[in-house]
Amino acid sequence: MSIASNLDRVNHQIADACARAGRDPSEVALIAVSKTFPTSSIAEAAACGQRQFGENRIQEALAKIAELPQHGIEVDSDIDLHLIGHLQRNKARHAGQFASVQSVDSVRLAEAIARRLERELPILLEVNVGQEASKEGFLVCDVEDAYTRISSLPNLRVDGLMTVAPEVADAEDVRPVFRQLRELAERLSLSELSMGMTNDYAVAIEEGSTMVRIGRAIFGDRPSAARPSEPSGGPQ
174-213 pLDDT tens trace? 999 999 999 999 999 999 999 999 999 999 999 999 999 9
pTM of the model: 0.92
Q: Quick one: 49 exposed, middle or buried, by C-beta within 10 A (0-12, 13-18, 19+)?
A: exposed
Query: What are φ and ψ of residue 82, in 5° steps?
Result: -105, 140
How many Cβ atoms sit within 10 Å of the Cβ of residue 77? 7
Q: Please, what's the largest Cα pairwise distance for the chain?
A: 47
Q: How far apart are CA 28 and CA 63, in angstroms?
A: 28
Query: Model confidence over 131-181: pLDDT tens digits?
Result: 998 899 999 999 999 999 999 999 999 999 999 999 999 999 999 999 999
Has residue 231 got a pLDDT over 60?
Answer: no
Domains plus CATH for the chain? 3-88+95-219 (3.20.20.10)
Q: What is the mean pLDDT of the chain?
A: 94
